[in-house]
Amino acid sequence: MIDSNTQQALLQTIQHQLLTDDNDTTSTKNATRISSILGTWTGQTHLKTSVGAYELEAYFVIHIVPDPMRGYGCSLDGCSEIDNKVCAHGKEDDTDDDGDGRGGVYNKVCKDMVGQVSDWSDVVAFMAFGAKIDVGFPFNKHNSEDMGGWVGPISIIMAQNQTLANQTNTNINTNNNTNILLDQYASRYIETPTTPFLKMPQACTLLEYDDFEKAMGPTAVRNTVAAQYDLSDADPTADPFQKYLQTCDNGDVKPLLPRLQFDFVRDRVTGEERVEVEIKYKLLTIPHKKDYMYSLYPMVQRRFNNADLGFHISGPYCYGDDPKRGYTFDMDFDTKDPKSMIQLDHGCIDGLPCVPPVSELSSCDSKIDVLPSIPGATISIGHTLYFMMAVGLLFLFLLLSMVWNCRLRRKLALFQQEQEQPQRGESSSSASTEQRITGGCSSNVVVEEEEVERGEEKPSSEYNKQVDDGGNVDDSTDADDLSTPLLRNREDDDDVV
């Protein structure tokens, strides 16, 4: 029975042979170095706020294995895979050059990767993705989605930097230390006969069937082949989705698969050779208008982007003819510039997918290191939250004070009205009484006084009639009231007579 160590050594030998093309003498690819990047790569970001229970987690897992068809690969001078070119076998040459009667060999031709269905690649990848968003107070919304399984095989050619391969001494700076860059490989996706058979896992909750075709299926592979670019571009940080940002003039955003780069460096001091890894991926999420995350995404985006911790949410991008639907988790990992909130490991992380079915048989007796999940980077928002609470309390106190003052003013106005009504009643009653007593007889009094002065006299009956008509009081009241000058003059005239 073969023990686990012997099985592991045999597996490595087989992988090395699969990565070695004995028929291609022009290739400068180092099979040992490419073998070192095989296995599971796990990238995870986990952010949470110190107050308010806001939490965001996103991950991707890439499992790389050799492509059994690599033995059909080839290379040609001037056919640079970095420039999206691929060597392919053309028609068989029937010329019997060596006289053995078997004819010739297949011609090698250089073709553009775009639109080309290649019969070989260096490695194939199986991928799994997931994201979780918890929005705390006052929304208390929780959303968790993932692929529900593995997607693959996805064919990748490890394009070698030919310029670097022809040099022996290239210095790079890594964490303020000078290292020698020995070799460099970048991923170049290629369509192969297996590409049309990429299927969405049945338990997938991250995407719907039509969305999977564009984001992870055959369409995504073809879009990535057409859009992959050299990592040495003038601006490698440029957003490849820029033309879809907040506009649908250019159609829907076209999702791309993760971009990989592996730099093999030697430390000048220790002489050790190691690999530096850079992985860039924009994980697209596309909520519907009816989903609560559709309206909450702008707020979540502002909160985490303002923290400036290296993790970024981009968007919105046009999707489904909606310029506000697509958002991406920008998961950029670089071992040369590590960040506390982003973890990249050549291995598995507890709680996340580890090994796809294609590798379960080969790894059942071997040891797989499973690393603990990162606790997550905490974003401190305490000071900002306390300031906002203080401002809110002051605003509430001001509002209550204004309401209370308005009520007091209203009560004061009612009280003044109640105090003024009795005074108005007494004044109007007094004025009415005075008018009844004096208003109707003032002219008669003047006339009587003038007549008295002239020595004229009126009959008593006529006087009583004038008093009744002018004063509008009854006889009993007039008989008792002797306070008016007219009555006193009347008595004086009676005495004279």
Weakest-pLDDT range from 161-170, 188-197, 233-242, 452-461:
452-461
- Residue 79 phi/psi, 5° resolution? -105, 85
- Return the pLDDT at 452: 43
Query: What percent of the chain clears pLDDT 90, i.e. is strictly above it?
Result: 27
Residue, of 269 and 11, whose pLDDT is higher: 269
* Residue listed under structure tokens 């490991």: 345
Stretch 40-51: mean pLDDT? 76
Residue, of 15 and 265, whose pLDDT is higher: 265
* Distance from the Cα of residue 493 to its chain's centroid: 111
Q: Is the peptide bond before 66 cis (omega within 30 degrees of 0)?
A: no
pLDDT at 416 exceeding the cut of 90: no
Q: Which two tokens stand for residue 141?
A: 């919304």
* Helices 442-453, 460-471: crossing angle, 10 deg rounding: 150
* Cα gap 341→309, rounded to integer Å: 7
Residue 368's pLDDT band, with cuts at 50, 70 and 90, is: very low
Going 480 to 485 to 488 to 490, the CA torsion angle's sign is negative
For the chain, give every domain's residue range.
4-70+111-380, 389-496
pLDDT at 198 exceeding the cut of 90: yes
Q: What count of Cα atoms within 13 Å lies in the side-chain half-sphere of residue 329?
A: 22
One-letter amino acid at 353 equals: P
Is 263 strand, coil or helix?
A: strand
Q: Which tens digit of pLDDT belongs to each residue from 147-167?
A: 899 999 999 999 998 877 666
Residue 128's pLDDT band, with cuts at 50, 70 and 90, is: very high
* Cα gap 28→166, rounded to integer Å: 9
Residue, of 422 and 197, whose pLDDT is higher: 197
Specify which of 8-12, 285-289, 462-466 reaches the highest per-range mean pLDDT. Answer: 285-289
* Cα gap 403→392, rounded to integer Å: 17
One-letter amino acid at 74 equals: C
Stretch 244-264: mean pLDDT? 93
One-letter amino acid at 70 equals: R
* Cα gap 85→119, rounded to integer Å: 14
pLDDT at 453 exceeding the cut of 50: no
Question: 441 with 467: CB under 8 angstroms?
Answer: yes
Beta bridge partners of 343: 44
* Distance from the Cα of residue 7 to its chain's centroid: 47
Residue 44's pLDDT band, with cuts at 50, 70 and 90, is: confident
Short-list 154, 142, 183, 163, CA closest to 48: 142
Supply the DSSP string of 59-116, one letter for each residue: EEEEEEEE-GGGGG----TT--TTTTEEEEEEEEP---SSSSSS---EEEEEEESTT-
Going 477 to 478 to 480 to 483, the CA torsion angle's sign is positive
Q: Which tens digit of pLDDT belongs to each residue from 7-25?
A: 454 444 444 444 444 444 4
- Return the pLDDT at 159: 93
Q: Over the Cα atoms of the chain, what is R_g?
A: 49
Which residues lie closer than 8 Å to 2 by C-beta, 6 or more apart? 10
Q: For 361, which DSSP code?
A: H
- Return the pLDDT at 103: 52
Q: Is the peptide bond before 255 cis (omega within 30 degrees of 0)?
A: no
Stretch 446-475: mean pLDDT? 46
Q: Which tens digit of pLDDT belongs to each residue from 205-250?
A: 888 888 999 989 999 999 999 988 644 455 667 888 999 999 999 9
